Each structure stands twice: as structure tokens, then as C-alpha cells.
Amino acid sequence: MGDHYGIWSVLPPLLAILLAMLTRRVIPSLLMGVFAAALVLTDGNPFAAVVRCITTDLVSSLCSSDHLRVFAFTLLMGAMVGIIHHSGGMRGLVDLLRPFATNRRRGQAITWLMGLIIFFDDYANTLLLGTTFRPVTDRLKISREKLAYIVDSTAAPVAGIAIVSTWVAGEVDFISTGLAGIDIPTNQGLGFSIFIETIVYRFYPLLALMLVGMVACTGRDFGPMRKAEKQAADNFIENEMDHCKTSARRELASGGRVHLALVPIVVLTIVLVASLVLTGLPDGSGGTSLWQIIGSADAYSALVWASLAGCLTAMLLTGLEQRGSLAGIFQAAVRGAWQMFPALVVLWLAWTLAELSASSESTDPAGRLGTAVYLAGLLGDAVSPEWMPTLVFLLSAVVSYCTGTSWGTMSLLTPLVIRVTWQLIDPSGEEMVHNPIFIASIGAVLAGSIFGDHCSPISDTTILSSRASGCNHMAHVWTQMPYALVVGAVSILAGTIPVGFGISVWICLPASALLLFSFLWCLGRRTEEDSPVV
């Protein structure tokens, strides 16, 4: 059926999302979504759909080199954290942070600040932050839902707007691909120049980072999150406390040693940055900027090497410190890795559904639903330029929500939006690429993709955030969604709409921040009066 299957392009991902929300069982819901997509692609033949799922789609997704490397990175991270717990390093880290995290607000603020520091990759941010700060937030009786929110709402936004991150090359390439399709002379630096200009127009990620800080510093919450926080503060879930006590008993009675946690984390970070630089260096040419090197790096391989180095370092230090037998160390590594296994199953199914929802290529005999192409076509040719940033933001959010991938949404929609917007603004020369509506529309794709990703229960970073934080996945989705919707609403009301009608972005940014704080102050309530934690 060409580039898409009409309304049928949207139904399979929507089915998976609705079932996940109604049943709160993600894996069966994703399986139903994958089967429904295969059913559409096989013209309604259920037997052919089952055969396709088993022999083609699930296998190809599992065997993807990028996916396998993410699996390896996640398992190695889990193993490293398991060893650190076993050695007493995590208890030492908690003791180190104890003087700073003296109450619930300070604990949340420190977690948020650390999330801003780990800006170079969203996966590394998610897993490292969630697993490291879980004992700290548990001690302060901060809910796992709140930890998952802080982790998830920091990881992708900060990686998406950072000039040096694993996202840069992809975002610049998406923009450059779109520029190649319009009738203007382009050069190597034009795509990056526009990428830089879009940063201040990406209201959602900027405001999402602000809201996390506001929530942390004010201690105010609303919606399901406030209920989760009140439950954690009044009577922390008994089975979680028992789990924490069991973990503590596994650590040796001689007390925690902070270097057993910090050294592996530092080694992981150093190896990750070094691997990004080494794999991103051009062959035989100099003068390349740092952003180009990091952006061109093999991020997935760098993550694997870094997590392997961190895991081996944790094992070596634990052995040298005689914090357990070799068999005990391996058992701790296996326990830590096994904790990540359910997340990998969900990731596998979510990736499969995202690939089935992608756009078909002429060389792809299997066919794809073309969800993004169909939704982009709904924009039509009669859209007013003033409303383009807002409509693009909403469209990107819907596509990302349905497919569960901000990255995939950016790759599909950015070139399309550039071509459509270029025609709408009546271009008259190369200088028009700096038109505020043109720049704001591109920024709206990059921002809306993260917005939809934060609301989607089939998003990879949402899945990893809940798992790393030890939180029920659907509980994380339900508690984070109201915050994401408030940020999305403010992004439209004080961001994309006024920018589309000619208001300067430098007026819109402080106005949107003020409006966001007003929303939090009016909707939010303090869970409890902060008191020092002994």
C-alpha cells in the first residue's frame, strides 16, 4: 500500500499502549501489538502473521548488532551494581552522600544535579543514576516512582540538548538530510549551525529539566506522584524495606568502603568518554571539533567497553579487598545481571514494534506500517505557518508515543518537516533557513519526540528508568505522565504558539519557566515537612 497503511498504521502501537495502561502488564501488551502489526502487514492472515513474528520480526530485532550491544551494556551494568552491593561499596557511597542528603528535598536535588552532569548519553545516565542513587533515596523514604521520574526526565532531555553527546551526530544528520531536500546551497556546517539555533526553541526538554529541579527543591508534588510520595514518607513499602535490609546483610559487617563504588563508576566514565573519542576520530585528518568527534562515535560499542571495564574493576577491587570469595563475587554479578533481564525482554518487544511501525524502504521486502509517514500526511498543505511549530510538536509527540522511540521519530519526521515548513514560509534565499518559524519547527520535532517518549509505556528509556530505579513500570508511567503533560502544555501555551506568532524566544523562555513554576505551586502540595534523616 505504498508508504503507509492508512489508519491501520496507527492501530497496532495504540493497541499495545492501551492494553499496557489497562492491564498494567507490559510484555503481553507488546506481544499483542507486535502480532497486530504483523497481521496488518500480512493482509489479515493470522497464520502468516504468527510465522512472520517468530521467524522474521522478533529474530531480526534480537539479532540487531546495536540491540545486542545495548543488552550487553545493560547486563554488565547490572552485574557491576550487584558486585558493588556485595562488596559494601554502595553502603559506603550512601555514607558519603549522607552529610549532603539530609532530607528528602536535598536527596532529590542531588540526584537531579548528578543527572545534569552525566549528559553525554541517555542510557548511561538512566542506568548509572537509577542504580547508584536507589539506596540513597530509599534511606530518605523517597518513592521509587519519584526516583524513576527524576532519572527519566533528566536523561533524554539533557542528552538531546547537550552539544557534546551521543545524540549530536544523529540530530545534525537528520537536519542535514532535510536540508538536502530543499533548493538551497548547503555546506557541512549548516546542519550543525541550525542544530545550535534550535536548542533555545526546544521548550519541552528545557522545561522538563527545570521542572525536575523545581519539584526537588520545593518538595511539592501533584497527581499520582503525590500519593506515591505520601505512601513512601508515611510507611515505606515493607517488602522494599525488607529488600534493602537483605541487601545490607549481604554486605560485610566491617562497613562500607566508598572507593569500592566510586572507582568502578569513575573507570566506567573515563573508558566511555575515551571510547567515544577514539571511535569518533576521523581517519588521518585533524582539526575536527570535539562535538563532531563525540557525535560521530560508535556509542553502542563505547557503552559496552565502558560497562565491561567498570564491571571488571569492581570484581578486581572486591577480590583485592577480600570482601568475599570468588564464587560469591560471581554470584553477586549474576544476581545483578538477572535483575535487568525483565527490562531486556520489554526492550526487545518494544524495539520490534518500533521497527514494524517504521517507514518502508523500496529494498525492504518485509514491509513496514509507515506510522510516521501517515501521521505526517495529516498535516496537509493548508497549514498556516504560524501554527506550524505547535502542530509539529504535537505530531512528533503522537508518533513518539505510538512508536516508543524519540530517536526514530526524529529520523523520520525531521526531513519531512523541513521540506513542508520550507514551502510554507515562502522561501526567497538561503537566509530563510534562519527564519524563527523554520528553526522553531525543527526544534519542535526534536522536543516533541522526547515529550511523547516520556509519556509512552513502550519507550526504551522509560523501561530502563523504571527497572534501574526498582519501580513498577506502569507505576512509573502513570506517575510521570502528569508532569510530562504539564510541561507539554506550558511548552505550547508559552512556547510554540507565541513563537509562531512572532514573539521572541527570549521572552517565551522566561515566561514559560514562570508559568511552569506557577502550575507547580498551584497544583502541588508538600508531602511532609522536611526533617533531618538520621
SS (H, E, C) 203-262: HHHHHHHHHHHHHHHHCEECCHHHHHHHHHHHCCCHHHHHHHHHHHHHCCCCCCCCHHHH
Question: How many whole angstroms separate alpha carbon 331 and alpha carbon 349?
Answer: 28
What pLDDT sits at residue 468? 84
Does residue 306 lie within any of the structural domains? Answer: yes
Within a domain: 203: no
What is the reported pLDDT for 8?
Answer: 84
Measure the CA–CA gap between 284 and 296, rounded to whole angstroms. 15
Of the listed ranges 154-158, 411-415, 478-482, the least confidently predicted one is: 411-415
Per-residue model confidence (pLDDT) at position 153? 92
Looking at residue 434, its pLDDT comes to 76
Residue 444 pLDDT greater than 70, yes or no: yes
Burial of 530 (0-12, 13-18, 19+ CB in 10 A): middle
Model pTM score: 0.71
Q: pLDDT higher for 174 or 518?
A: 518
Q: pLDDT value at position 480?
A: 93
321 within a domain of the structure (yes/no): yes
User: 371 or 62: which carries more pLDDT confidence?
Assistant: 62
Q: Is 143 domain-assigned?
A: yes
Per the structure, the count of domains in the chain is 1
- What pLDDT sits at residue 123? 75
Q: Does residue 263 fall inside a structural domain?
A: yes
Q: Please name the residues in contact with 16: beta carbons below 8 A apart, sequence gap of 6 or more.
A: 29, 30, 32, 33, 34, 36, 353, 458
Average pLDDT, the chain: 79
In this structure, of 63-67, 263-267, 452-456, the range with the lowest mean pLDDT score is 63-67
Which residue, 208, 225, 131, is CA-closest to 484?
208
Per cent of the chain over pLDDT 90 is 19
Q: What range does the domain containing 82 cover?
A: 65-176+235-344
Radius of gyration in angstroms for the set of CA atoms belonging to the chain, rounded to a whole number: 23
The one-letter amino acid at 10? V
- Res 187 pLDDT > 80: no
**CA nearest to 442, candidates 498, 393, 408, 399:** 393
| pLDDT value for 498 | 95
Could you report the per-residue pLDDT of 473-482, keeping only the tens digit for each?
889 999 999 9
The reply to whether 435 falls in a domain is: no
Query: Quick one: cell of 457?
Result: 509505556
Q: Look at residue 517 in the predicted model and tell me its pLDDT.
A: 95
The answer to whether residue 328 is domain-embedded is yes
Would you say 333 and 319 are in contact if contact means Cβ atoms under 8 Å apart? no
In a domain, 159, yes or no: yes
